[in-house]
């Protein structure tokens, strides 16, 4: 028997450490976990904030290929769990039949679906990475938690975001680049779970519901879970366990187990090899 891997992909303005509680929770249930950072990511959020000039100028294609290589590196196709931009990347990868299942939590909109503009950072002529202030973080990211919790989350997890990535996503009213398209019609992909917070200001619930409808013509399994009274911080704030446990239960119900047959035993592999 071999342990099923889970690859966690963090989103904009968060460090890879944002998955630390999830990784421990999934490992405790028998999964092998991997939460790699973005290319060139600093060892900690504080270091990233202190040296924004060292943040690589990455775009969406760079992130997508980076995580595609990681997913391909596993002997057993992993489960892919992404938040925000990571949720968009997770959908691209599962649509390309990389991975055996995917979970997209408060995912950045895919393909031609409109990007919300209200909560984004103010447009600046500079090409420097964009860092949310603690006040802005609480207003648009951690809007459902108290000030003390928001401050703690900011200190431990918040990092600057490459300006090129925000441009690719069409933030601040810029034209959106048609990069990393998601194949919503692929009928041979593994199961996909979309998760939204109904108080999310960065990726409103209505956007995730619109994404869900985009999969309506595919016979591949797609599920939607909405969490009331939750904002964009739902993977890191004090309610993270409710979300993580729902994902664990969903995987079990969809036949994805923490351990599976040895791939050398002659058993047929699941989705994940394109």
HEC assignment per residue over 113-129 = CCCCCCCCCCCCCCCCC
- pTM for the whole structure: 0.91
What CATH superfamily classification does 2-257 receive? Alpha/Beta hydrolase fold, catalytic domain (3.40.50.1820)
Q: Identify the helix (H) or strand (E) that includes residue 82.
A: strand 79-83
For the chain, report the end-to-end CA distance as a whole number of angstroms: 23
Distance CA 235, CA 223 (A): 18
What's the confidence (pLDDT) of residue 123?
47
225: helix, coil or strand? strand
Burial readout 206-245 (b: 16 or more C-beta within 10 A, e: otherwise): ebbeebbebbeebebebebeebeebbbbbbbbebbeebbe
Distance CA 156, CA 49 (A): 11
Q: pLDDT tens, 197-216?
A: 999 999 999 999 999 999 99
Structure tokens, 46: 């504080």
Phi and psi, residue 152, nearest 5°: -65, -45
What's the confidence (pLDDT) of residue 264?
54
Q: What is the pLDDT along the chain (274 residues), one digit of tens a residue?
A: 789 999 999 999 999 999 999 999 999 999 999 999 999 999 999 999 999 999 999 999 999 999 999 999 999 999 999 999 999 999 999 999 999 999 999 999 998 887 665 444 444 556 789 999 999 999 999 999 999 999 999 999 999 999 999 988 887 656 666 667 889 999 999 999 999 999 999 999 999 999 999 999 889 999 999 999 999 999 999 999 999 999 999 999 999 999 965 555 443 344 443 3
Q: Where are the domains of the chain?
A: 2-257
HEC assignment per residue over 172-186 = HHCCCCCCCCCCCCC
**Centroid of chain to Cα 113:** 17
Nearest residue to 154 via CA among 42, 265, 49: 49
């Amino acid at each position: 028997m071999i342990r099923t891997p889970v690859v966690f992909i963090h989103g904009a303005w968060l460090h890879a450490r944002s998955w630390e509680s999830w990784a421990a929770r999934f490992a405790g249930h028998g999964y092998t976990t991997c939460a790699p950072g973005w290319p060139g990511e600093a060892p900690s959020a504080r270091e990233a904030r202190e040296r924004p000039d060292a943040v690589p100028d990455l775009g969406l294609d760079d992130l997508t290929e980076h995580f595609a290589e990681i997913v391909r590196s596993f002997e057993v196709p992993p489960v892919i769990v992404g938040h925000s931009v990571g949720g968009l990347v997770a959908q691209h990868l599962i649509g390309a039949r990389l991975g055996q299942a995917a979970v997209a939590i408060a995912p950045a909109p895919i393909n031609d679906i409109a990007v919300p503009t209200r909560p984004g950072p103010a447009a600046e002529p500079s090409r420097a990475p964009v860092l949310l202030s603690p006040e802005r973080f609480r207003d648009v990211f951690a809007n459902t938690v108290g000030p003390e919790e928001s401050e703690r989350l900011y200190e431990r997890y918040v990092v600057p975001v490459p300006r090129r990535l925000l441009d690719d996503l069409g933030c601040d009213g810029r034209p959106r680049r048609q990069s990393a398209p998601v194949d919503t019609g692929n009928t041979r992909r593994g199961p996909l779970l979309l998760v939204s917070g109904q108080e999310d200001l960065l990726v409103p619930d209505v956007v995730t519901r619109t994404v869900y409808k985009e999969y309506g013509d595919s016979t591949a399994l797609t599920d939607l879970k909405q969490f009331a009274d939750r904002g964009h911080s739902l993977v890191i704030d004090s309610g993270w366990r409710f979300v993580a446990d729902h994902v664990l239960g969903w995987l079990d119900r969809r036949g994805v187990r923490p351990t599976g047959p040895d791939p050398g035993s002659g058993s047929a592999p699941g989705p994940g090899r394109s």
